[in-house]
């Protein structure tokens, strides 16, 4: 397949208008959102949706999110709109919050992988919203990576995975949030199935207590079923080993320095994900600054791009654990999964 590339800034009108027609005609379009790039198809057309699974190599039992351009577009997709959802939509849409509720009959089973619920979100990105409006239908879209890889937040990573697999790619520059949306189930007690840019603390300020699914920070037990099918798959795996060090910043850095030296003696090429607060601990070693521990959103914003940066032929990444609070919860969720839960403690 020949993939057409558009730039959202220079070819604004033409790009989204054309791409919207491609979606309507049953094609695949990669588009930018504030979280990560998405691989979109007509969300009301089961056959078009199946192409997404094929292009990504995605397991068929992992459901998709429907993306809409205005709040009222959720109405026909759910059986009804519960009161609690209205409050959340008013506060956080458009934005990185996906809400799960009982699906209506117009949502094809290809989108929901046979579940009786459907995930919906309204992204906060001009190009994404313009594309959805141009298509005139909800757009089903997972992250635009090959299944198992970190989600793409930069055009070069989109091209790595999707060139030749989608009809159109729209370049919108780097994604600002950098991790995927918060997924909140409203079936039963409100439960975060996947943490993201809208934090537990922000949600609780609006609707009161919110649970966090066990699988967010823990590997699934052998006999446990995932609340969200996506949680049971290995995710965000870069092409190298990832090791997480727990403890205070100083203690984590000490572990990392010890293990880095050991790995280097074994001939491994290593890199450390340092933070503004800890970079001084790693003098003479190879490190990148991921962000600021006091502003965990900055860690989220660069994590996936850093995991995909294999320019140095890296064998091993060492990263510090941070408190699982605010956006730190999303950061730790992605980091632990990327590491396959390989954690060192002093
Ligand atoms: O930020 C995002 O959410 C990005 C952009 C493109 O919008 N999309 C995204 O989609 O991350 P995806 O497919 O990579 O992740 C969707 C997650 C999966 O873990 C899936 O299992 C879960 O949401 N999910 C979707 N529908 C669900 C449902 N009905 N019940 C439970 N989990 C669901
Ligand atoms: Mg994904």
Q: What is the pLDDT of residues 84-110, one digit of tens each?
A: 999 999 999 999 999 999 999 999 999
**Is residue 152 lining ligand 1, measured as CB closer than 6 Å?**
no
CA 168/CA 170 separation, integer angstroms: 7
Question: What pLDDT is attached to residue 223?
Answer: 67
Domains in the chain and their CATH numbers?
4-216 (3.90.870.10), 241-345 (3.40.50.11030)
**Is residue 63 lining ligand 1, measured as CB closer than 6 Å?**
yes
Of the residues 52, 57, 95, 143, which should be mutated to test ligand 1's pocket, given the most ligand atoms within 8 Å of the CB?
A: 143
User: How many A from CA of 80 to the centre of ligand 1?
Assistant: 21
Average confidence (pLDDT) over 317-344: 96
**Is residue 333 lining ligand 1, measured as CB closer than 6 Å?**
no
Using CA positions, which residue lies closest to atom 30 of ligand 1?
228
> What pLDDT digit, counting tens, does each position of 218-245 carry?
987 766 777 777 776 666 777 789 999 9
pLDDT of 7 over the 80 cut: yes
Ligand 1 nearest-atom number relative to CA 179: 1
Ligand 1 nearest-atom number relative to CA 194: 19
Question: What pLDDT is attached to residue 233?
Answer: 66
> What pLDDT digit, counting tens, does each position of 171-194 carry?
999 999 999 999 999 999 999 999
Using CA positions, which residue lies closest to atom 24 of ligand 1?
63
> What pLDDT digit, counting tens, does each position of 145-171 carry?
999 899 999 999 999 999 999 999 999
Question: What pLDDT is attached to residue 196?
Answer: 98
Average confidence (pLDDT) over 12-36: 94
Question: What pLDDT is attached to residue 77?
Answer: 98
User: How many A from CA of 65 to the centre of ligand 2?
Assistant: 10
For the chain, the maximum distance between any two Cα atoms, rounded to a whole number of angstroms, is: 61
> Range with the lowest mean pLDDT among 41-55, 209-223, 332-346?
209-223
pLDDT of 312 over the 90 cut: no
Q: Given the structure tokens 């298509």, which residue do they identify?
A: 135
Average confidence (pLDDT) over 193-206: 98
Question: What pLDDT is attached to residue 292?
Answer: 98
pLDDT of 12 over the 90 cut: no
**Is residue 35 lining ligand 1, measured as CB closer than 6 Å?**
yes
Ligand 1 nearest-atom number relative to CA 177: 1
Lookup: tokens for 175 = 């994604």
Q: Which ligand is nearest to the CA of 63?
A: 1
User: How many A from CA of 99 to the centre of ligand 1?
Assistant: 10
% residues pLDDT > 90 (the chain) = 89
pLDDT confidence band for 313 (50 / 70 / 90): confident
Of the residues 120, 161, 180, which should be mutated to test ligand 1's pocket, given the most ligand atoms within 8 Å of the CB?
A: 180
Q: Which ligand is nearest to the CA of 98?
A: 1
Question: What pLDDT is attached to residue 179?
Answer: 97
SS3 readout for the chain: CCCEEEECCCCHHHHHHHHHHHHHCCCCEEECCCCCCEEEEECCCHHHHHHHHHHHCCCCCCCCEEECCCHHHHHHHECCCCHHHHHHHHHHCCCCEEEEEEECCCCCHHHHCCCCEEEEECCCCHHHHHHHHHHCCCEECCECCCCCCCCCCCHHHHHHHHCCCCCEEEECCCCCCCCCCEEEECCCCCEEEECCCCCHHHHHHHHCCCEECHHHCCCCCCCCCCCCHHHHCCCCCCCCEEEEECCCHHHHHHHHHHHHHHHHHCCCCEEEEEECCCHHHHCCCCEEEEEECCEHHHHHHHHHHHHHCCCCCCCEEEEECCCCCCHHHHHHHHHHHHCCCCEECC
User: How many A from CA of 151 to the centre of ligand 2?
Assistant: 6
For the chain, the average pLDDT equals 95
User: How many A from CA of 87 to the centre of ligand 1?
Assistant: 21
Question: What pLDDT is attached to residue 228?
Answer: 75
pLDDT of 39 over the 70 cut: yes
Question: What pLDDT is attached to residue 11?
Answer: 78
Using CA positions, which residue lies closest to atom 12 of ligand 1?
142
User: How many A from CA of 146 to the centre of ligand 2?
Assistant: 9
């Amino acid at each position: 397949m020949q993939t057409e590339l558009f730039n959202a800034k220079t070819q604004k009108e033409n790009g989204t208008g054309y791409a919207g027609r491609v979606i309507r005609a049953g094609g695949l379009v990669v588009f930018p959102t504030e979280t990560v790039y998405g691989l979109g198809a007509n969300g009301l057309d089961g056959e078009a949706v199946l192409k997404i699974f094929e292009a990504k190599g995605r397991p068929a039992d992992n459901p998709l999110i429907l993306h809409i351009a205005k709040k009222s577009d959720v109405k026909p997709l759910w059986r009804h709109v519960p009161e609690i959802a209205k409050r959340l939509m008013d506060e956080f849409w458009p934005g990185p919050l996906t809400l799960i509720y009982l699906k209506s009959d117009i949502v094809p089973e290809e989108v929901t992988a046979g579940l009786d619920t459907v995930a919906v979100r309204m992204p906060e990105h001009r190009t994404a919203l313009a594309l959805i409006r141009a298509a005139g239908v909800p757009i089903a879209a997972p992250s635009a990576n090959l299944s198992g890889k970190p989600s793409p937040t930069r055009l070069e990573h989109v091209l790595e995975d999707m060139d030749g697999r989608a009809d159109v790619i729209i370049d919108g520059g780097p994604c600002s949030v950098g991790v995927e949306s918060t997924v909140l189930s409203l079936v039963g007690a409100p439960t975060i199935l996947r943490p993201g840019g809208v934090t537990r603390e922000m949600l609780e300020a609006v609707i009161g207590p919110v649970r966090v699914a066990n699988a967010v920070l823990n590997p699934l037990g052998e006999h446990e079923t995932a609340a969200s099918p996506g949680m049971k798959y290995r995710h965000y795996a870069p092409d190298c080993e990832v090791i997480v060090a727990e403890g205070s910043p100083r203690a984590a850095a000490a572990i990392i320095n010890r293990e880095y030296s050991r790995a280097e003696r074994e001939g491994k090429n290593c890199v450390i994900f340092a933070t503004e607060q800890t970079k001084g601990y790693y003098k003479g070693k190879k490190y990148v600054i991921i962000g600021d521990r006091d502003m965990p959103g900055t860690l989220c914003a660069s994590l996936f791009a850093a995991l995909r940066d294999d320019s140095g032929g890296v064998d091993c990444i060492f990263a510090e654990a941070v408190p699982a609070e605010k956006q730190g919860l999303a950061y730790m969720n992605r980091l632990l999964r990327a590491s396959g839960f390989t954690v060192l403690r002093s």
